[in-house]
Structure 1
Amino acid sequence: MVSEGIIAVSIGGICSIIVAWVSKVRSREPAEPERSRATSGEESDPPPGLRVSPEIWEYFSGRFERLEADVAHLTTAIETKTIEVTTLERLLRQAMRIIRRANRRLAARDETPEEIPRELIPYSIE
């Protein structure tokens, strides 16, 4: 699960580098300094920055949306599995209590107690 998150972040980083590289190649006009634009009063020009063709933007936007959906799905899966693990651990501790209680009753009647399964020993509270 962690490796899938790392893959998603890596793909996102690679995509942003590709978008920056592609926009740098397409942008051949010199960038106008901020100070001269502000003094000239041209408000209709778009601000300088990253320019991407609509096709590339659409392609990578779809990929980013897919990655965000995958991350959301993985987050939900992790939360669900965490709840399941917590519930199972509680049930295993409860099973261990039941076995210990039964063994105390057997020992009180001078009978041989049941063997505790090795898998349950880590869940012992006593």
Structure 2
Amino acid sequence: MPSYDKCPPINFTFSRRTIPEIEKLRQAWIKEFPSEEPDIVSVAWAYVHYNNGRKQQMPMISFYLKSMRPEIERHIQMLCGLEVIFFTTEPDARHFAGKVLDFSEKWGFFLREP
């Protein structure tokens, strides 16, 4: 499990489609949870285990709440004009190395070669 003391440096970039999709996600969050203001983008590596036994690994986008900023602000990095925390382990950071975090309607957020 990653810790706030060991967030690796960002080693990827966002595609031009990714940033608007992150903002759509932010607006959906605000609509669903109006009392919890999303602030800093979190990029992580997710391990998904489905009820049917299927497993999948993929990039995940989420947010840290504004109230969490004092605890995590020393780990904020800038990427394409957004404040981002790359909250993952060193081994999982390798999935992102040199890649572009992109978005498509079919696949959601995914990594691709530049």
| TM-score interval, normalised by the smaller of the two chains | under 0.3
TM-score w.r.t. length of structure 1: 0.21
Q: Name which one, 1 or 2, has greater alpha-carbon Rg.
A: 1
Which of the pair is proportionally richer in strand?
2
Higher relative contact order (CA 8 A, sep 6+): 2
